[in-house]
Amino acid sequence: MPINCKKARVGVDTETVSVNASNEEFLLYRVIVKGPTPLFTLVDAGNNALLLSSEDGPVQGTTDTYERIWPKPADNVSTHTSHTIGFQFLGAAQYTYQVEHHRKNAPVRVLIDIDYQPTAPGDSCFEDLDVVTF
């Protein structure tokens, strides 16, 4: 649900996912930035935890791609939470946000694949994914 920005392209937009973390399932979050100054955060609202931000730096070998696997061994895992990403368009021209569900012995399922663009300088937008774990 963007606020003050537009979804320029929507490949997939899933609202809820169930993750069996005890069976080696995980989510892969990816943000690809076009523009010089990214500003974004991905938070786990149920645990009040920062999962990924532009401060983490890009994936090794890239200048524009940020990734985070969830859950990591140190993460608190609630049975129900919300992972919310927020983007600000202070220097970036576009964000591509992707979420993949990786399951043992199953194909990767793309949950979210969206390009966001501002409608005016300084715009911001948010996208929420409800996460149920068992």
The half-sphere exposure of 26 on its side-chain side, counting CA atoms within 13 A, is: 11
pLDDT of residue 51: 98
pLDDT tens digits for range 74-95: 999 999 999 999 999 998 999 9
pLDDT tens digits for range 33-72: 999 889 999 999 999 999 999 999 999 999 999 999 999 9
pLDDT of residue 2: 46
63: left (phi over 0), alpha (psi -120 to 50) or beta: alpha
Distant-in-sequence, close-in-space partners of 106: CB < 8 Å, separation ≥ 6: none
Q: Dump the DSSP string for the chain.
A: --SSEEEEEEEEE--EEEE-GGGT-EEEEEEEEESS---EEEEETTTTEEEEEGGG-PPTT-SSEEEEEES-TTS---SEEEEEEEEE-SS-SEEEEEEEEE-TTS--EEEEEEEEEESSTT-EEEEEEEEEE-
Tell me: cis bond preceding 71? Omega within 30 of 0 counts: yes
pTM listed for this prediction: 0.94
